[in-house]
Structure 1
């Protein structure tokens, strides 16, 4: 008896509506029998993911693993996601008009986290998918009726943090303009909501990281800038660990950056003297930076609490404030 093709097997599972543990083992044998996963096999998995109704836990391991093998591990040079492959992935994810809850977004993040380099539009796609899910109350991060549209929960903050972390693995140390724009959009859209406190922390840290990059200052790595302080805090109180490092950085503005780097053991201490001079030069808020910030903050006609915190940061730490920023500064105090 002739063994059915992978597509025949997938169509049979779609007709049944449920994928079992044994089915996942069979799928793994299909796609890994020749030690290579093809784009056609990947498309078949996407089709099954979109059409079937029930999956075992092992499916959520196989799906992102197979996609990473296709787009990251098998390519030459290994680890570099091409523009064409990124377009293929985005096309597969959006083919049914939405991002599924545990699988497609996980696959995108799995790829970004493992890639040495990936097109910026792939990371931006993932970040916007999470943001849109928060606003609409459906899609990638929503799994229960008790979750309300337009409210950022702790789980969604951690998913946003994961997307932003993933960009570091693709060569982007600082938060980009496009990423900062998405975070501002999300902040605007949820200003009336009872968001998780962790959202304020993430928003402030990420946008501050971007503003440092705008000034020409080399900001700390994303794993420092976006770390959860309660996760990374070490014994010894305020001074301890990476958490203490960024607590100083956020609470003390640019001077806090100086102190944070100065007080840390190697390798931070070794960079302290050079960064002292670099930061002093780049504290000035330029016209170009100010133009973007004024336009971005004023886009919805409101001045939000997180935005006020950024303005206070600038007023306290920059020796020269561009005149166009002064009206917003007056409103923030």
Structure 2
């Protein structure tokens, strides 16, 4: 028996044809994380505001789909990942989403700065160390991109240690005034 039309349409929306549709697919994952319902949660128990290994796998499949494999992670995809990160108050994915999230944001930051990035399947793989390709120093990293990432992280209840370390390192090397560093993560001096 074929799937109901709406379910088939929902699943097809999770197969991106470009970076815009990938970002839309990520919002479907986010909605499933928030509500515990939807095409990404069908056939399994899923609590609202929870992110599990299947949710992380959906994000990885969307971000590494063949249609976007050789494109850098876009700002709208990065924003969708920030939204998923914020929506998920409970995690049971053994850190897979945090790893994918940090690598995708670094991929966006490097590419938006005009730096070379590997294909997504390499860069976002759990078997690839972020240090093997992500910028470790600010030479060539666009300060506006760093400020945008810092603004996305500011005031959030959930932080990503890898991403915080990368931004703090790049911001420090980029010679942001020392007085601004505490405000990157809303910490006091």
Establish whether TM, by shorter chain, passes 0.5.
yes
Listed one character per residue, the Cα deviations across residues 259-288 of structure 1 (whole Å, up to 9, x for unaligned) are: xxxxxxxxxxxxxxxxxxxx87414x51x2
Q: Which residue does the alignment assign to 1:194?
A: 91
Q: Which residue does the alignment assign to 1:140?
A: 39
1:311 aligned onto 2:169:
no
Q: Which residue does the alignment assign to 1:49?
A: 4
Q: CA deviation at 1:177?
A: 0.2
Q: Which residue does the alignment assign to 1:222?
A: 120
Flag the 1:305–1:250 CA change in 2: closer, same or farther, 3 A.
farther
Flag the 1:163–1:332 CA change in 2: closer, same or farther, 3 A.
farther
- Paired residue for 2:80, among 162, 179, 182? 182
Relative contact order, CA 8 A, sep 6+: which one is greater? 2
Q: Which runs of 5+ in 2 are unaligned?
A: none
Structure number with greater Rg is 1
Flag the 1:325–1:189 CA change in 2: closer, same or farther, 3 A.
farther
Listed one character per residue, the Cα deviations across residues 220-270 of structure 1 (whole Å, up to 9, x for unaligned) are: 1101012232xxxxxxxxxxxxxxxx22x3489534xxxxxxxxxxxxxxx
Q: Which residue does the alignment assign to 2:181?
A: 326
Q: Which runs of 5+ in 1 are unaligned?
A: 1-18, 25-47, 51-92, 94-99, 113-117, 230-245, 256-278
Residue 202 of structure 1 aligns to a residue in which SS? helix
Q: Is the 8 A contact 1:134 1:156 kept in 2?
A: yes
Higher helix share: 1
1:159 aligned onto 2:64:
no
Q: CA deviation at 1:132?
A: 0.8
Flag the 1:177–1:138 CA change in 2: closer, same or farther, 3 A.
same
Report the aligned-residue RMSD.
3.1
Q: Is the 8 A contact 2:106 2:134 kept in 1?
A: no
Provide the C-alpha distance between the structure 2 equivalents of 1:171 and 1:223, rounded to a whole number of angstroms. Answer: 7
Provide the C-alpha distance between the structure 1 equivalents of 2:119 and 2:34, rounded to a whole number of angstroms. Answer: 29
Listed one character per residue, the Cα deviations across residues 127-167 of structure 1 (whole Å, up to 9, x for unaligned) are: 2112111111000111356321111111111111111112x
Q: Is the 8 A contact 1:294 1:325 kept in 2?
A: no
Q: Is the 8 A contact 2:107 2:134 kept in 1?
A: no
1:254 aligned onto 2:130:
no
Aligned length in residues:
185
Provide the C-alpha distance between the structure 2 equivalents of 1:163 and 1:209, rounded to a whole number of angstroms. Answer: 15
Q: Which residue does the alignment assign to 1:289?
A: 145
TM-score normalized with structure 2 length = 0.80
